[in-house]
Amino acid sequence: MQDFQNYILGSWGKGEGIETNLYNAINGDALGGVSSAGIDYKAVLDYGRKVGGPALRKMTFQERGRMLKALAFYLLERKSSYYKISSWTGATKIDSWIDIEGGIGNLFANASLRKQFPDLPYYVDGVAAPLSKEGTFIGHHIMVPKEGVAIHINAFNFPIWGMLEKIAVNLMAGVPAIVKPSEYTCYLTEVMVKDIIASKILPEGSLQLVCGLGRGIIDHVDERDTVTFTGSAATGKVLKGLPHITEKSVSFNLEADSLNASILGMHATPDTEEFNLFVKECVKEITIKAGQKCTAVRRIIVPENLIDEVQSAISAKLEKIKIGDPSIEGVRMGALASRLQVERVKESVLTLEQTQKIVSGDIENFDVEGADKKLGAFFSPILFRNDDPFNKVACHDIEAFGPVSTIMPYKDIGDAIELAKMGKGSLVSSIVTPNNQEARDYVVGAASMHGRILVLNKDCAKESTGHGSPMPLLTHGGPGRAGGGEEMGGKRGVLHYLQRTAIQGHPSTITAITEQFQIGAAMPEANPHVFRKHFEELVVGETVFTHKHTVTDADIVNFANVSGDNFYAHMDATSLDGTIFEQRVAHGYFILSKAAGLFVDPKKGPVLLNYGLDDARFIKPVYPGATIGVRFTVKEKMDQEKRSDEDIAKGIVRFLVDVYDETGETVALATILTMVKKLDQTK
């Protein structure tokens, strides 16, 4: 036995006394005690704000992304130690894999987002807005890290995933975190945080851990801070409604357990692969993590003519599920997280049983492999049947947070949509159907009350992540009962921790602030040519003004011969009546190709390659006789890490290609992406 510790104010320590005694969910053995009593939460918040925050805000998105990537690899090397401790929570190996490696996957996914952000500590959002006739006054938006802390109050079911999926996002944004896992499974979170702190990969103050009850943890939050809560809707709404939360406009994200539904489409008859997929998915969602998932299927909605067959198929599989010690071969479902959770689930089942019938499972009589069910926190999978779900509505209101689900019939897809919506807002729904029109009807009809919808069929089944798996690059959250919040979602999630601010000024000033060239800003002439400069030597805004070229009929004919593009507007002057063209027009791609011939300095130099073209636009027709030139401007720079000691040190440079004619008007615009060698090859 041991007392589990908190990591606050830069050191590990125990709280006063014991608030909660912790037990192994499989055998009931005492693990130790935990407490957060006596913690000065005002000091903890200030430490995060004053120590962790400034350190993270100094880092660019590229540096933060590389930090997360390094941490992910570090934790992956140590994953075996987490699996052993995870089993104490009642988790099978598959349950633990979802929690541990799924959580680490969130670090990798968020690390990869650095490619979507500038090489700056802040984000430049969208494009400039013209605000004046002459172009000397423009507007833009920047997003800077909030200067508070993120307080994450997590549930007991995913001690690692629950922490990593949240801190990956706030750390990427440049905001420190205080994590408060459930006291019942905090021992698993604690062991990983010990490794994180020991790694010294994160700046000091960017992560603190409170393992006890955490009473008072949000008493001192203010307008700088963000609070996220995962757990019961009732508790979350109480916290969200605290007077100082609303008075100080504290950002509060609530992600609550919800009555998620899975629908068997009318076209998924027993002779289809989709029917079997549906049965398999429902059984998996009932038994994975012993049903202790906020995304688990609680309502199984099937065509009324198929309900008997679906019930029989699901029941047959549930009856074969072995419950017990996850270390024993063949055990497919472990225990609930605690004896307290067993009592809570039992109470919900007894309430549900008043209006619907148990058709599979027994809350008292079930076998347990390799353990004593009186000592461990075991519970039988329970399948209810409700033949009148529009009138017997307890199944739409009461969630048994364990291996419990209710099967119910529907007449048509409109009925199925209404039943799904009776959950009053869910994190996720799914429909299994081979018919895309049916899928479309359900998604469009049900989306307003769901945060995510999985459409499953035989074509995607092999690679589908399943009904219950939120993905780091997709939003997680839902309306109504599900909390009305949103987290993760790739880049969207990071933006939640940034403050969007509109900025206004001269294009040169906005260029200096954003470090992105804005149209109308000063364009000092590059000397020497930009292709002769290394990455560090290039300055945003400097421009090459090229020689000019007069377009001829021969140019158009030759380009058509080379490209095979004989579109009538280029090649047939007799077919232009009724078009916008006055005469045969030069190919847009010829204009860009010729522009490259004008702006490229052909000698070998620091430019390694051109690997892309973005935002190409053909703005004004170019006719034979027009004379074009190019303003070739450094638009934006982005550092790139070396993959190995042998790798060439380089960065990415985006150049604006502005092709103009003899009147000075722009005829074509594009952005080219180049890879440019660094002068300093050690970085």
Residues recognised as catalytic: 255, 294
Relative to beta strand 453-456, strand 20-23 is unpaired
Sign of the alpha-carbon torsion through 168, 169, 173, 179: negative
655: amino acid identity, one letter = F
Answer whether 517's CB lies under 8 Å from 511's CB: yes
Q: Which of 282, 230, 287 is nearest to 482 (CA)?
A: 230
CA distance 246 to 252: 9
Q: How many CB atoms lie within 10 A of CB 264?
A: 29
What phi, psi does 253 have (nearest 5°)? -105, 120
Q: Alpha carbon 585 to chain centroid distance? A: 46
Contact 254, 229 (CB under 8 A): yes
Q: Which two tokens stand for residue 395?
A: 């199944």
- Strand bridging mode 11-13 / 123-130: unpaired
**3-state SS record for 477-508:** CCCHHHCCCCEECCHHHHHCCEEEEEEEECHH
Cα–Cα dist 557/571, whole Å: 7
Residue 422 to residue 301: CA distance in whole angstroms? 12
Return the HEC string of 104-116.
Answer: HHHHHHHHHHHHH
Pairing label, strands 404-410, 382-385: parallel
CA dihedral (101, 104, 105, 108) in degrees, to 10, reads -150
* CA separation for the pair 336, 90 (Å, rounded): 6
User: Using CA of residue 121, residue 196, residue 232, residue 41, what is the dihedral sign?
Assistant: negative
CA distance 151 to 44: 11
The number of angstroms, rounded, from the C-alpha of 565 to the middle of its chain's C-alpha atoms is: 42
Task: Name beta bridge partners: 430.
Answer: 262, 454
Beta-bridge mates of residue 437:
none
Record the tokens describing residue 170, joined without a space. Answer: 């706030």
